[in-house]
Amino acid sequence: MQEVAIGKNPAALLFVDALRAGEIDTTVFLTGVGADCLAEAVAEVCPLAEFVSLLTRCTVVVRGPKPNAVLRKWGLPVDGCAAEPNTWVEVVAELERLDAVSEKTVAVQEYGVANSEFYAAIDERRGKVVGVPVYRWELPDDTGPLENAVGDTIAGAFDLVLFTSAYQLHNVLLVAERMGLAEDFKEAVLNCQVGSVGPTATAALRSAGLRVDVEPGRPKMGPLVRDALAATIARTRPPSFPGAP
């Protein structure tokens, strides 16, 4: 998949207006790429120095280390960082810890698509959500490698299939559907070991009727690859017998 920045972005400009008016109590940054995209989207009307100054009036919460690194680069203090595995559930917990949600206006830097479960959780806690979309997810310009991967999976070429985001599953199923092979692809995946980077991707896989064999304790690429390879080797290794070397 690819991340495509939103060109003309009135929502981002309205967010700046709301910051200037003192109408935002809490700002949540969900991704590092999104934070940079947001700063770029408003740069013509709000230079970075002013943007940072406006944000210091809010409680600022980040979902994980990547947006934290971007804000640190800007010189913007962060009030709270969600614990691993860095899902919306941990973000809500951090907002509650900081008393930054109940009766508060919470601006959320979105990524890809709006998270309806996250927004519902804020609403349940009497918070008001202001969504700030900055980029959307799309298929890659060249879907040939993805089509080849679908065909190779169906042909039994893989022992292990890894997903590092829920939206990857959306895209691969979309391409498989276009090829008329969605059900064949899902059946083939069930014959593989399936690794998921974290709870959000796991929920998407299970919702699609797919099994998850490995989800690492830390939602990172390194632990995912390490744990998934170990599980796959254990699965494919011939059984040992007494006295065997």
Question: Where are the chain's structural domains?
Answer: 2-137, 144-236
Q: According to the model, what pLDDT value does residue 1 have?
A: 83
- Single out the residue of 48, 41, 83, 40 nearest to residue 62, CA to CA: 83
**52 and 85 in contact (C-beta within 8 Å)?**
no
Strand locations in the chain, DSSP E? Answer: 2-5, 26-29, 59-62, 80-81, 105-109, 128-132, 135-138, 160-163, 193-196
What does the H/E/C string look like for 142-207? CCHHHHHHHHHHHCCCCCEEEECCHHHHHHHHHHHHHCCCHHHHHHHHCCCEEEECCHHHHHHHHH
Q: What angle do CA 120, 106, 62 make, to 5 degrees?
A: 95
Span 222-233, average pLDDT: 90
pLDDT digits (tens, 9 = 90+) for 126-177: 999 999 999 888 899 999 999 999 999 999 999 999 999 999 999 999 999 9
- Give the chain's length: 245
Residue 185, both tokens: 């692809």
Residue 8's pLDDT band (boundaries 50, 70, 90)?
confident
Q: What angle do CA 113, 116, 119 make, to 5 degrees?
A: 115
Q: Say if residue 238 is preceded by a cis peptide, omega within 30 of 0.
A: no
Q: How far apart are CA 173 and CA 155, in angstroms?
A: 16
**77 and 60 in contact (C-beta within 8 Å)?**
yes
pLDDT digits (tens, 9 = 90+) for 15-26: 999 999 999 999
Which CATH fold topology does 2-137 show? Answer: Rossmann fold (3.40.50)
pLDDT digits (tens, 9 = 90+) for 185-217: 999 999 999 999 999 999 999 999 999 999 999
* The CATH classification of domain 144-236, taken from the options 3.40.50.1440, 1.10.357.10, 3.90.1410.10, 3.40.50.10090: 3.40.50.10090
Q: According to the model, what pLDDT value does residue 243 have?
A: 58
Q: According to the model, what pLDDT value does residue 88 have?
A: 95
Prediction pTM value? 0.80
Q: Which helix (H) or strand (E) holds 94?
A: helix 88-97
- Within this chain, domains 2-137 and 144-236 share the same CATH topology: yes
Q: According to the model, what pLDDT value does residue 124 have?
A: 98
Report the chain's mean pLDDT, rounded to a whole number: 93
Q: According to the model, what pLDDT value does residue 233 have?
A: 85
Q: According to the model, what pLDDT value does residue 33 have?
A: 92
pLDDT digits (tens, 9 = 90+) for 77-133: 999 999 999 999 999 999 999 999 999 999 999 988 889 999 999 999 999 999 999
Q: How far apart are CA 174 and CA 4, in angstroms?
A: 18
